[in-house]
Amino acid sequence: MADYYGVLGVSRDASADEIKKAYRKLARELHPDVNKDPGAVERFKEVTAAYEVLADPNKRQMFDLGGDPLQPGGGGSSPFGGQAGFGFGDIMDAFFSGGQARGPRSRVQRGQDALIRLEISLADAAFGATRELALDTAAVCNRCGGDGCAPGSSPITCDICQGRGEIQSVQRSFLGQVMTSRPCNQCRGFGTVIPSPCPECSGEGRVRTRRTLKVKIPAGVDTGTRIQLSGEGEIGAGGGPPGDLYVEIVETPHPVFTRQGDDLHRTLTVPMTAAALGTSITLETLDGPYVLEIKPGTQESDKALRLSARGIPHLRGSGRGDLYVHVEVQTPTKLDEEQKRLLRELARLRGEEQVDDDPGSGQPGVFSKIRDIFGGR
């Protein structure tokens, strides 16, 4: 007969916790998935059999009196006997939790986080705003105060698990007998049952309700920015603490400005005469009217006019982006006879009646093409 105390390396007066600790340590070291030594499997079986005996007070007492509970007729059965419904997951749970009961779980749970999308204008994104939101979320049930019980009642201890929240069972596998735990089906692991659930929340401790919430939008946000409001999410089951609310910003397109990061871009159409002579144009910006000077001879180009610090404030840090004005020179397409005459005269004075891309090509010049479009010969 094996010395089960010696197998586990504990004294004969070792406590249940000491036995469990020794078994868990050896099980981790000798498990076939961890230890590839050829003798580890047999040693692992011996350790499992020793724990099966010494973890059971009745079997341990029998062993101390000289019997072997695992031998036929010794108060037990073969350590290699099988039992239906015993899986590898149960074995692993027993190895690495030692069959240790985790106790009942609390009915009070933290609520889930919530996400809501909020559309705002470019001006609100630039300078910030305060918005009022209407939310449909879970709130504490006023009738039961969150405990889920009907008025005048309270939870009672589960008569199946006796308040432990778990059912323990001893099962056998090809590796020996192990103890497993599973949540109690009657109380769902809470250890208590609610005999009279609150009729308002059906025992959940929370109900759906609509509430309003003011959200402060900081300056500089952009599409995709998320604002976290701690404790403004869903109330948890059992009246538990609420989760967080995340407000995701969606910036609506602006009819004039295009945003690129913290910079703004816009297109300004300037008549040909104004571009040639120069002019002053009152330009609308996010900060109000701005007088933009168009220099004489301004032409279309990829280089835009830059208005410093007229863009979006930086969300993190100080300062602002810039506003870039892209000038488009507008060439007239409809001219009356007097306008045509004046343009021809201007072209004659400037010697621009014939302007060829390649003087040696014999092809009509650019101005000739424009003159043809206008109908002049």
- Asked if residue 142 and residue 120 are part of one domain, the reply reads yes
d(CA 372, CA 365) in angstroms, rounded, equals 11
Number of structural domains in the chain: 4
Residue at 210 is within a domain:
yes
- Asked if residue 316 and residue 227 are part of one domain, the reply reads no
Residue at 53 is within a domain:
yes
Domain that holds residue 38: 4-79
Strands 323-330 and 263-271: parallel
Give the CATH number of the domain where residue 275 resides.
2.60.260.20
Residuewise pLDDT in 10s, the chain (377 residues)? 678 888 889 998 889 888 888 888 887 787 766 777 878 778 888 888 888 888 888 888 878 777 777 765 444 433 333 333 334 444 444 444 444 446 688 888 899 999 999 999 999 999 999 999 999 989 999 999 999 999 999 999 999 999 999 988 777 665 566 777 888 999 999 999 999 999 999 999 999 999 999 999 999 999 999 999 999 999 998 888 999 999 999 999 999 999 999 999 999 999 999 999 999 999 999 999 999 999 999 887 778 999 999 999 999 889 999 999 999 999 988 999 999 999 999 989 988 877 665 555 555 544 444 445 444 43
- Asked if residue 262 and residue 247 are part of one domain, the reply reads no
pLDDT for 82 equals: 35
Residue at 84 is within a domain:
no
pTM of the model as a whole: 0.62
- Asked if residue 120 and residue 196 are part of one domain, the reply reads yes
- Asked if residue 310 and residue 190 are part of one domain, the reply reads no
Length of the chain: 377
- Asked if residue 212 and residue 300 are part of one domain, the reply reads no
CA nearest to 259, candidates 118, 116, 123, 119: 123
115 backbone dihedrals φ, ψ, rounded to 5°: -130, 130
- Asked if residue 170 and residue 42 are part of one domain, the reply reads no
Residue at 213 is within a domain:
yes
CA nearest to 191, candidates 258, 107, 271, 254: 107
d(CA 27, CA 107) in angstroms, rounded, equals 34
- Asked if residue 123 and residue 73 are part of one domain, the reply reads no
Residue at 162 is within a domain:
yes
pLDDT for 227 equals: 96
pLDDT for 176 equals: 63
- Residue where a domain stops, chosen among 79, 99, 132: 79
- Asked if residue 270 and residue 153 are part of one domain, the reply reads no
